């Protein structure tokens, strides 16, 4: 189990690496994180919902993802409220105080323990991941994901620390000392992550940490820049490719406050024909050839913000000026005539006018749709796949002139299109499919060359590169010795 001295120390990436390493070494690994908080989720083959990080780790392990790998997913809908997804299905909305109170906590604890037990019967080893810091002692009684989970699993625990942020000695030693005596028995190693500079200068530091903490340092992993693994958090999106550039097709993803499933754009980010950037700057929107309105965990709140800050009008004007506009999931809903929320699922607003680019009306409500789908795009004989995670139904207006975008393999239709450069769809991952990419880029063929991009092979190569990187700087013989002495 990889636990952290804090958030964003690299636990997810390290766990992903070990999923691939164990697969390469002939084992049958699976990832596990009892509780995850993320807007970036994924649909399992059974049509249930888990955190995207565990789906990525499962892919690195070469297996299908399953809800047992992430039995509790928290999806923030505001600064204080999350939707709780339990075993892949919505359990309800709770604020932080409700969720972390001790009353009723054993139901969640039983659920995560049962999920781990089921998973451990099917795979070996289980690569577990903690959340945040292991030393949040004020939450010890209600913790589901860190040391109580390690104790239930009988896990060998590796503490991951980010040396790049500074204070690595204090963070590692402090984390160890704030554990109970029983918890410290499970800690078998320390991994220093995100090192910059000459590792030889830290050799004395390794010895000091081992002397202080009484456990070995299994490795010091340097910071890398040339390995690309899908990210879980959207916090850095605004820093990516801040403006349009000459000589490529410029694609602007509208930067929403509650943006979800931003991995929809990973293929486009890597496509050599494309320059993709995230923005809510009206001047940058004018420079884009293609605008994509992404998914949102709170469609009405984000639509309200777009109307208030002038982005909605700039999108409408860009369409008039010849840009393509594409909406995915919540973005698709925003492109319609209105979004209605009579049950106040997302807030207090009953109805909000949309962008008016598609002749549809959306009502938020009903059961949450979570499923993987196979489909054909634009009526072509093309085998495509993606997934749906949404609440609400979008229906064409009376006498609407539009056509469906996709035909699913069950015979149903998805999406709405008014012209070749303006459409919306509920399908996440639609932009992972080559026929779709080629279609949306084709109006700008004067900027294109014949370069193609195999994203699936790219991802496999990245997992292998990540595994090679970790093997180079981690003592794998020590890791296997720790496992064998369990």
Residue in 200, 217, 118, 122 with CA at minimum distance from that of residue 160: 217
- Please determine, for residue 25, whether its predicted confidence score (pLDDT) is greater than 90: yes
What confidence score (pLDDT) does residue 485 get? 80
CATH number at residue 290: 3.40.50.880
Structure confidence by residue, pLDDT tens digits, 342-367: 998 888 899 999 999 999 999 998 88
What confidence score (pLDDT) does residue 377 get? 94
Any catalytic annotation for residue 203? no
User: Is 151 inside a domain boundary?
Assistant: yes
- Please determine, for residue 429, whether its predicted confidence score (pLDDT) is greater than 70: yes
- Please determine, for residue 59, whether its predicted confidence score (pLDDT) is greater than 60: yes
131 and 279 both lie in a single domain: no
Structure confidence by residue, pLDDT tens digits, 178-212: 999 999 999 999 999 999 988 888 999 999 999 99
- What the block records as the tokens of 260 is 């979800």
Q: What is the DSSP letter of 129?
A: B
What range does the domain containing 183 cover?
Answer: 2-229+461-484
Structure confidence by residue, pLDDT tens digits, 452-486: 678 888 899 999 999 999 999 999 999 999 999 85
198 and 309 both lie in a single domain: no
What whole-number distance in Å separates Cα of residue 254 and Cα of residue 252?
6
252 and 207 both lie in a single domain: no
Does the pTM exceed 0.85?
no
273 and 382 both lie in a single domain: yes
Average pLDDT over residues 123-133: 95
Residue 5: CB atoms within 10 Å: 26
Any catalytic annotation for residue 19? no
Average pLDDT over residues 246-271: 89
174 and 131 both lie in a single domain: yes
Distances (CA, A) of 273 to 289, 293, 319, 362, 459: 12, 20, 22, 34, 18
CATH number at residue 172: 3.40.50.300
- Please determine, for residue 234, whether its predicted confidence score (pLDDT) is greater than 80: no
Could you check whether the bond before residue 88 is cis, i.e. omega within 30 degrees of 0?
no
Which residues, including other chains, have CB under 8 Å from residue 317's CB and lie 6 or more apart? 286
What confidence score (pLDDT) does residue 246 get? 65
Sheet holding 217-222, edge to edge: 2-4, 157-162, 187-195, 217-222
Q: pLDDT class for 244, splitting at 50, 70, 90?
A: low
390 and 311 both lie in a single domain: yes
What whole-number distance in Å separates Cα of residue 47 and Cα of residue 283?
40
400 and 467 both lie in a single domain: no
Q: Which of 19, 65, 213, 329 is catalytic?
A: 329
- Please determine, for residue 271, whether its predicted confidence score (pLDDT) is greater than 90: no
Q: Which residues pair with 338 in a beta bridge?
A: 353, 361
Q: What percent of the chain clears pLDDT 90, i.e. is strictly above it?
A: 72
289 and 405 both lie in a single domain: yes
More confident residue, 261 or 115: 115
What confidence score (pLDDT) does residue 198 get? 87
Q: pLDDT class for 449, splitting at 50, 70, 90?
A: low
User: Is 212 inside a domain boundary?
Assistant: yes
More confident residue, 398 or 58: 58
Q: Provide the CA 299 distance to its chain's centre, in angstroms.
A: 18
Structure confidence by residue, pLDDT tens digits, 278-302: 999 998 999 999 999 999 989 999 9
Helix/strand/coil for 63? coil
For the ranges 246-260, 315-329, 376-390, 442-456, which has the lowest average pLDDT? 442-456
Residue in 426, 344, 5 with CA at minimum distance from that of residue 178: 5
What confidence score (pLDDT) does residue 103 get? 76
User: Is 456 inside a domain boundary?
Assistant: no
Total structural domains in the chain?
Answer: 2
404 and 466 both lie in a single domain: no
25 and 94 both lie in a single domain: yes
Residue in 101, 98, 107, 92 with CA at minimum distance from that of residue 80: 98
- Summary mean pLDDT of the chain: 91
User: Is 281 inside a domain boundary?
Assistant: yes
- Please determine, for residue 331, whether its predicted confidence score (pLDDT) is greater than 90: yes
Going along 223-337, which residue ranges are E strands? Answer: 249-254, 259-260, 274-279, 290-293, 295-296, 324-328
Structure confidence by residue, pLDDT tens digits, 68-108: 999 999 988 777 888 899 999 988 888 877 777 777 788 99
Q: pLDDT class for 147, splitting at 50, 70, 90?
A: very high
Angle 112-113-117 from CA coordinates, rounded to 5°: 115
Average pLDDT over residues 135-152: 92
User: Is 455 inside a domain boundary?
Assistant: no
What confidence score (pLDDT) does residue 439 get? 93
Q: What percent of the chain clears pLDDT 70, i.e. is strictly above it?
A: 96
What whole-number distance in Å separates Cα of residue 346 and Cα of residue 400?
27
What confidence score (pLDDT) does residue 462 get? 94
Which residues, including other chains, have CB under 8 Å from residue 41's CB and lie 6 or more apart? 49, 50, 51, 52, 73, 75, 85, 260, 261, 389
């Amino acid at each position: 189990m990889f636990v952290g001295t804090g958030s964003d120390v690299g636990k997810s990436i390290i766990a992903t690496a070990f999923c691939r390493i164990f697969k390469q070494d002939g084992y049958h690994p699976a990832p596990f994180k009892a509780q995850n908080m993320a807007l970036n989720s994924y649909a399992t083959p059974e049509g249930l919902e888990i955190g995207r990080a565990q789906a990525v780790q499962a892919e690195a392990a070469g297996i299908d993802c399953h809800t047992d790998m992430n039995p509790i997913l928290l999806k923030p809908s505001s600064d204080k409220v999350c939707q709780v997804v339990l075993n892949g299905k919505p359990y309800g909305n709770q604020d932080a105080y409700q969720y972390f109170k001790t009353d009723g906590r054993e139901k969640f604890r039983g659920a995560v323990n049962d999920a781990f037990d089921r998973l451990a019967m099917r795979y070996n080893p289980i690569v577990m991941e903690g959340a945040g810091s292991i030393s949040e002692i004020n939450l010890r009684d209600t913790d589901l994901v860190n040391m109580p989970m390690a104790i239930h699993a009988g896990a060998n625990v590796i503490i991951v620390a980010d040396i790049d942020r500074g204070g690595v000695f204090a963070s590692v030693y402090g984390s160890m000392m704030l554990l109970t005596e029983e918890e410290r028995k499970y800690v078998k190693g320390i991994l220093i992550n995100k090192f910059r500079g000459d590792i030889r200068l830290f050799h004395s530091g390794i010895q000091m940490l081992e002397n202080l903490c009484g456990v070995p340092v299994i490795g010091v992993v340097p910071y890398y820049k040339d390995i690309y693994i899908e990210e879980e958090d959207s916090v850095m999106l605004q820093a990516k490719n801040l403006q349009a550039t000459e000589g490529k097709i410029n694609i602007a993803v509208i930067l929403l406050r509650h943006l979800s499933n931003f991995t929809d754009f990973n293929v486009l980010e890597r496509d050599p024909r494309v320059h993709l950037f995230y923005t809510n700057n009206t001047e940058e929107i004018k420079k884009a050839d293609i605008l994509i309105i992404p998914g949102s965990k709170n469609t009405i709140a984000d639509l309200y913000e777009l109307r208030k800050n002038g982005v909605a009008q700039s999108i409408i004007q860009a369409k008039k000026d010849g840009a393509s506009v594409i909406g995915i999931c919540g973005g698709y809903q925003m492109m319609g005539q209105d979004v209605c929320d009579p049950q106040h699922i997302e807030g207090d607003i009953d109805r909000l006018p949309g962008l008016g680019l598609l002749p549809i009306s959306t009502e938020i409500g009903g059961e949450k749709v979570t499923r993987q789908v196979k489909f054909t795009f634009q009526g072509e004989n093309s085998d495509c796949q993606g997934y749906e995670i949404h609440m609400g139904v979008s229906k064409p207006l009376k006498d609407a002139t539009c056509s469906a975008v996709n035909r699913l393999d069950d015979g149903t239709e998805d999406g709405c299109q008014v012209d070749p450069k303006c459409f919306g769809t509920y399908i996440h991952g639609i932009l992972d499919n080559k026929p779709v990419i080629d279609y949306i880029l084709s109006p700008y063929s004067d900027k294109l060359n014949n370069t193609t991009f195999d994203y699936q092979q790219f991802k496999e190569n990245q997992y292998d590169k990540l595994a090679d990187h970790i093997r180079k700087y981690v003592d794998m013989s020590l890791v296997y010795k720790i496992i064998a002495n369990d």
